[in-house]
Amino acid sequence: MPGLFIIGILVLIVVLIVRAQQQKKKKIAAYKLPVNAKVILEENVAFYRELGAVEKQMFEERLRDFLARTAITGIKGVRVTDLDRLLVASAAIIPIFSFPDWKYNNIDEVLLYKEAFDKEYRQDGDDRNIIGMVGSGAMQGQMILSQPSLRTSFQNPEDGLNTAIHEFAHLLDKADGAVDGVPEYLLSKPYIIPWVKHMHETIQAMKEGDSRDINLYGASNDAEFFAVVTEYFFERPAQLQQHHPELYQLLEQMFHPVK
């Protein structure tokens, strides 16, 4: 009898898991972008504007899938708009648009704060200097973004700065289990050693006062370097290629690998 009871419990657990997966699939399939999504994207996302008609449809479908899987939640009175949802989703999809099967399995929710916050996620006090962060510990699976910073990131698409893309770059880096500036799921093995070598050389040059066009925050550590140059690559690719051709080629191979 005890054995039959245990088997029954296991069968019930399997049934519940299968039902939950089916419900999730139905939810994803039923999710729709706002009716004015195309207009919002055309007006606010330069990456989208530069795509062809077929690619735009693909981009929209990727946004739809991401938003069906990921909650966008306003904290302490922040009202989340269609613009906010589409900007968050765009920041997620832009870096992995060349990877049609990529899903972010390490995020469930993006929290939008009214303004900057501190390391303890507090929105008051004098140490509020953070505008984006990937959560850890109790905040695992969550990302926090300052709503004003999210919007500002897309208002000037050529300043080389995009807080949301920066944070999603950290998630790409984190996907292999280590936040070390080496996104192994994006880098084929022959490019890992050249990437690490060039990354460390560039960080050293930045610390010595060279490579001033790269945000100096990228010299903090390997993980921040990867996130910073990912922003640069998608915001000002021509300038990056001109000033850092080898770095540009490594990032090109990373984000747009030759099939």
pLDDT of 30 strictly over 60: no
Asked whether the beta carbons of 235 and 161 are under 8 A apart, the reply is yes
Q: Give the number of C-alpha atoms closer than 13 A to the C-alpha of residue 179, restricted to the C-beta side.
A: 15
- Residue 224, domain CATH: 3.40.390.10
* Residue 220 falls inside a structural domain: yes
Is the pLDDT at 60 greater than 70? The verdict is yes
Determine contact, residues 215/228, Cβ cutoff 8 Å.
Answer: yes
Q: What is the pLDDT of residues 161-203, one digit of tens each?
A: 899 999 999 999 999 988 999 999 998 889 999 999 999 999 9
What is the distance, to the nearest Å, from the Cα of residue 218 to the centroid of all Cα atoms in its chain? Answer: 17
Considering the domain boundaries, does residue 127 fall inside one?
no
Q: Is residue 19 part of a domain?
A: no
* Kind of pairing between the strands at 132-134 and 142-146: antiparallel
249 lies in a domain?
A: yes
Which long-range contacts does 250-255 make (Cβ < 8 Å, 24+ apart)?
250/191, 250/194, 250/195, 250/198, 253/187, 253/188, 253/191, 254/183, 254/186, 254/187, 254/191, 254/195, 255/95, 255/96, 255/98, 255/186, 255/230
The pTM (predicted TM-score) of the whole model is 0.87
Range of the domain at 209: 176-259
User: Residues 224-256: pLDDT tens digits?
Assistant: 999 999 999 999 999 999 999 999 999 999 999
Of the candidates 151, 85, 163, the residue with the CA atom closest to the CA atom of residue 114: 151
Asked if residue 7 belongs to a domain, the reply is no
* 55 falls within a domain: no
| pLDDT computed for residue 218 by the predictor | 95
Q: How many domains does the chain have?
A: 1
Residues of the chain with pLDDT > 70, as a percent, come to 87
Contact 66, 110 (CB under 8 A): no
